[in-house]
Amino acid sequence: MTTDVVVLNGGSSSGTTTLARALQGMLDDAWLLLGVDDLVDALPQRGPGATATIAFPPDGSVVVGPTFMRVQEAWTAGLAAIARAGVGVLIDDVLLGGGASQERLAAALDGLDVLWVGVRCDADVAAAREAGRGDRVTGMAVAQADTVHRGVRYDVEVDTSRASPQDCARQILAVLARR
């Protein structure tokens, strides 16, 4: 069976997007890279719709409301539809609820061949990256470094604090080649 979807799960500033771009450049076919940041960017930025979706308090946490959950459900259904139409999808995600979030995403991807990738990064390395970015709430990287992996089952795990994006992508490609 050919893999339809690769889910890369890692905390904020762990390097999931950079890794996904490296992987995308090494894959033989055209794969779409779509991530939770794309979803967040597509949400209303002001008005009543904005307050009911997602918030980023100054403590580095992320608070999602019921509207976000509804929108996210539609988003994941769309990602699954793309894969079912025959286009590979790289999902760059932050599974805030750990295993429970994986179960929700897996249900949307039911019937597709999915490779689950854990993108690990030492909290101090992720925090340094976060500080250099300037587009994240301070503390988000540390808060998410371990929690996004709790209860999640992976086919392969990589560590972006110790290896380059290209080396991590090669690890993932090796697993894909064996499937």
CATH value at residue 131: 3.40.50.300
Q: Which of 7, 45, 1 lies closest to 23, judged by CA?
A: 7
Q: How far is CA 179 from the centre of its chain?
A: 21
Query: How do beta strands 5-9 and 88-93 pair?
Result: parallel
- In this predicted model, what pLDDT tens digit does every residue of 147-178 receive, in sequence order? 999 999 999 999 999 999 999 999 999 999 99
Residue 124's CB is within 10 A of a number of other CB atoms, namely 12
> Is 37 one of the catalytic residues?
yes
Give the active site residue among 28, 37, 59, 113: 37
C-alpha 137/C-alpha 132 separation (Å) is 12
- Per-residue pLDDT 10s for the chain (179 aa) are 589 999 999 999 999 999 999 999 999 999 999 999 999 999 887 777 666 688 888 888 888 888 889 999 999 999 999 999 999 999 999 999 999 999 999 999 999 999 999 999 999 999 999 988 877 888 889 999 999 999 999 999 999 999 999 999 999 999 999 98
Query: Whole-model pTM?
Result: 0.92
C-alpha 103/C-alpha 169 separation (Å) is 25
At which residue do the structure tokens 């997007």 appear? 17
**Phi and psi at residue 115, to the nearest 5°:** -105, 120
**Phi and psi at residue 52, to the nearest 5°:** -95, 5
The total number of structural domains that make up the chain: 1
Q: Which residues form the domain of 73?
A: 5-178
